[in-house]
Amino acid sequence: MQELSKTTIDSGQRSRRGSSLWHDAMRYLFRQRSAILGMAILGTMLFLAIFAPFIATHSPTLSMLDNPEEVALGIKRRTPPCIHLLGCPEEQPQHLMGLDSNVRDLFSRVIFGSRYSLYIGFASVGFAIVIGSLLGATGGYLGGQVDNVIMRVMDVLLAFPSLLLAIAIVTVLGPGLVNALLAIGIVSIPHYARVMRASVLSIKERDFVTADRALGVSQSRILFHRILPNAITPLIVQGTLGIATAILDAAALSFLGLGAQPPTPEWGTMLGAERNQVFTAPHLVFFPGVAIMLVVLSFNLLGDGLRDALDPRLNR
Amino acid sequence: MTSYIIRRLLLAIPVLLGILFVTFAMARMLPGDPCRAVLGEHATDQICDAFMERHGLNKPIPTQFAIYLNEVAHGDFGDSLRFQRPVTELLSERLPVTVELGLNALVLAVIVGIPLGIVSAYWRNSAVDVGTMLLANTGVSMPVFWLGLMLAYTFAVLLKDTPFWLPPSGGMSSGMHLPPLYEAWNIAVVEGEGWYNVWAFLSNINTLNALVTGSWPELWDAIKHLILPSVALGSIPMAIIARMTRSSLLEVLGLDYVRTARAKGLRENVVVLRHALRNAMLPVVTVVGLQLGTLLGGAVLTETIFGLTGVGRTLYDSITSRDYVVVQVFTLVIAVGFVVVNLIVDLSYAFLNPRIRFD
C-alpha cells in the first residue's frame, strides 16, 4: 500500500514537471527533423567560429606571397581548390577552397567569416529586440497618444523597403561593420515593436494583471515582472527568424561595399570584392555564398521549428 | 465596406506625411558636400556658393522643407544634381526597368510558388513535400546577389554554345533598339511636356513596347535578358509564397467543411482547388503584397549584378554620390508605392474576408 502511494506521488510529480510549456516545446523541437538539421548546422557554425584559429589552415589575411615555401612552388592568384585526397598533384600546395585575388587562402577566410556572420546576426537582432520590445511594450501598455505616436513612427519606418533604408542609414553613419549592424538593427525595430505590442495588449487584460493592479503593484513592476515574461515566446520565434534576415541584409550591405571593409574576412565583403571574377574564378564567389546560405538556413529551420514547438494551439 | 476604406485611407495620411519628412531629412543627413560631390573636389568656394544658392541648399532647413512640400504639391520634383535633368524624366526612364523586372519576378514567384505549396500540402510528409520544402527553405536562405552571380555563371559560361545560353547582363543586346511608342505610332508628343513622361515610361518597358508594336525579334531578346534577373529576384518570394500556401492550405484542409465536401462525394480536385484553396488564399494574398519590399530591396542587388539601370541601382548610386534630389524623389516614389500596395492588399483582404469589414 505504501509502495503504491509512493509511485502515485512520483508519477504525479513527473507529469507536473513534464507538462511545462518549455519542457513540452523542447521535446517537440527535438522531434522535428528540420529543426534538428538547423541546430546541427548552427552548432557546426558555432564550433567553427569559436575554434576558427585551430581549424583554419592559414591566416585569413595573410597573402601566400609572403610565404617563401609557397612562392617557391610558383603559386598564382585565384588558383582553384586543390585537395590532395581528391587527386590534386602532391607537388602543388593544398588549398581546400583555392586562393583569392590577393593570394589568400579562401578556406581560412570562409572559416573566420563565420565569426562575423554570427556576431552580426546576434548583435543586430539583440539591439532591435531590446529597443523594439521596449517601444512596443510601452505603447501597448500605456495606450492612448503614446501608443499612437510610437506605432505611426513604426509605420513610417515600415513604409521603406528595409534594405534601402539600411543603405541610407549606413550612408549617413558611414560605412563599416558596426554601423551596418546598427542600421540593420534600426530597420528591424518595428517588427519587434509590433510583436511585443500585440502580446502586451492581449496579456494586460488577463486576470492576474488585473489582480496585481487591484493590489497596488507599481506600473513598472507589472510591465517588467508580469507582462514581459509572458510575452517573450513570440519574440523568440521572431528573433530567430530575424537573425536569418539580418545576416542576409548585412551580407548585402557588405557586398555593396557599405558593411565590413576589406581585408575583413566577412562573407558578403568577400563576395563583393570578387564578384567580377565570377566568370573566370567561380570558386571565389561560390564558397562564401554557400556559407551564407547554410548559416541563414540553420536559423530559418530552427525558427520554424521553434514557432511550431511554442505554439500551444497546434495539437500534436 | 465604404467606412472601412475611408478609415484605412485616413490612416495612410500621417504615414505619407511622415514619409515626406523622412525622405527630406534623410537626403539632408547624407554626409558630405553636395556641391563637391557633383562638381568635383576642385570646385572653388565661390562656385560652390553659387551652386548652393541655385539649388536653394543654403536656406534654413525649415524653409527648405516648406519649399520641398510646395514643390511636391505642384508635382515639380526638381532637377537631378548629377545629371542636370528633371527627376521626373529620370524616373520615366528607370522606373519601367524595375517595374518590368519586379512584375516578372512576382508573376514567376506566384505561378511557381502556389502550385508547389498546393502539391506539398496535399501530399503532406511525402517525398515531394519534404523535397519542395527543403527547396523552399534553401530558396529563402540564399543571398539574392549570390544566386544572381551563380545563375549568370551557369547560363552564360557553362551553357555557352548550347541552346540554353542566356545573356548575363543588360536589358537588350547591343544593336537591338526599340523606338518610343509615340514614334512607332506617329503620335505628336513634345519632349518634356504633357503626357511625354507617361509615353516614355510605357515605351521603356521593353517587353510591353515590343509586344504592342509587334517587334518579335526584340521581344524575344528582351525576354531572354529578363529571365535570369527575374529568377534571381523571384526566388525568395517564390519560396515564401510556397511555404505560406502550404501551411494555409494544410490548416483549411483539416476543417469540417472540407470533410463535408468530401462526404458529399465531390471529386478531390474540386474539394482542394475550389473549396479549400479559395479560403487558403487569404494569407497568401497578404504575403504576395508584402513581398514588394523584398523585391525593391532585392532590385538594388539584382540590378547591380545584371547591369540594369533601374530605380534600385539609380537610388544606390545617388546615395553614394549625394544627389539629394534624386534620393528624395526616388525614395518618396518607392515608399508611396509601398504604402499604396499595402493599402490595396488590406482592402482586397477585407473584400475577400467579410469578417474584417464588419469589425
> Mind listing the pLDDT tens digit for each residue in A18-37?
567 778 888 888 888 888 99
Instruction: Give the pLDDT confidence score for residue A19 in this predicted structure.
Output: 62
Across A200-218, average pLDDT:
88
Grid cell 483539416 in the structure block, residue: B254
- Residue B54 pLDDT greater than 50, yes or no: yes
CB contact under 8 Å between B31 and A300, yes or no, is: no
Higher pLDDT pick, A237 / A7 = A237
What confidence category does residue A314 fall into, taking pLDDT thresholds of 50, 70 and 90?
low
Is B246:B117 a contact under the CB 8 Å cutoff? Answer: yes
Interface test with B, best of A270, A278, A294 (most B CBs within 10 A): A278
| Confidence at A50, pLDDT banded by 50, 70, 90 | very high
The residue type of A133 is S
Instruction: Please answer yes or no on whether A156 and B133 come within 8 Å at the CB atom.
Output: no
Structure confidence by residue, pLDDT tens digits, B27-41 = 777 777 777 777 777
Output the pLDDT for position A114. Answer: 94
**Percent share of chain B, pLDDT over 70:** 97
Which residues on B lie below 8 Å from A286 (Cβ)?
A: 150
Give the CA-trace dihedral at A134, A139, A145, A149, to 10 degrees.
Answer: 60
Q: What percent of chain A has pLDDT over 90?
A: 38
pLDDT value of position A15:
47
Query: Does residue B357 surpass a pLDDT of 80?
Result: no
* Cβ pair A265, A61 in contact under 8 A: yes
Q: Report the pLDDT value the prediction gives residue B358, as an integer from 0 to 100.
A: 53
Interchain pair A162, B137: CB under 8 A = no
State the nearest Cα–Cα gap between A230 and chain B, in angstroms.
26
CA distances from A148 to A144, A151, A154, B138 (A): 6, 5, 10, 39
ipTM of the complex: 0.85
Q: Compare all CA atoms of chain A with the CA of B328 and give the residue at the minimum distance.
A: A168
Is 90 exceeded by the pLDDT of residue A51? yes
pLDDT of residue B173: 82
**Average pLDDT in the A165-188 region?**
90
Q: Which residues of A touch B (CB under 8 A)?
A: 34, 152-153, 155-156, 159-164, 167-168, 171-172, 174, 244, 248, 251-252, 255-256, 268, 271, 275, 278-279, 282, 285-286, 288-289, 292-294, 296-297, 300-301, 304
Q: Provide mean pLDDT across the span B198-210.
A: 87
Residue A8 has pLDDT above 50, yes or no: no
Interface contact A160-B331, CB threshold 8 A = yes
Q: What pLDDT, in 10s, does the model give residues A14-23?
A: 444 556 777 8
Identify the residue with better confidence: B109 or B62: B109
Which pLDDT score, from 0 to 100, does residue B300 have? 85
Q: Contact A121/A129 with Cβ under 8 angstroms?
A: no
| Record: contact A297-B31, CB cut-off 8 A | no
Specify the pLDDT at position A142.
87
Mean pLDDT of chain B: 85
Q: Poorest-confidence range of A186-195, A291-300, B116-125, B334-343?
A: B334-343
pLDDT digits (tens, 9 = 90+) for B155-172: 999 998 888 888 888 888
Summarised one tens digit per residue, pLDDT across range A93-116 is 888 888 888 888 899 999 999 999
Give me the pLDDT at residue B108, please. 93
Q: What is the mean pLDDT of residues B212-225?
A: 89
Q: Measured between CB atoms, which of A161, A251, A297 is closest to B138?
A: A297
Q: Helical H runs in chain A?
A: 2-18, 21-29, 33-50, 52-55, 68-72, 106-142, 144-158, 162-173, 177-203, 207-214, 219-221, 228-230, 232-255, 267-274, 283-310
Do A114 and A41 contact (CB within 8 A), yes or no?
A: no
What's the whole-number mean pLDDT along residues A66-78? 80
Q: What is the mean pLDDT of chain A?
A: 85
At A12, is the pLDDT very low, low, confident or very high (cuts 50, 70, 90)? very low
User: Given this model, what pLDDT does residue B39 score?
Assistant: 76
Q: What is the DSSP letter of A276?
A: G
Helix (H) or strand (E) holding B114: helix B87-122
B228: nearest Cα among B305, B135, B292: B305
pLDDT at A62 over 70: yes
Give the 3-state secondary structure of residue B168: coil
Provide the pLDDT for residue A90: 82
Cβ–Cβ gap A161/B31 under 8 Å:
no
Residue B345: Cβ within 10 Å count:
17
- For residue A313, name the pLDDT band (cuts at 50, 70, 90): low
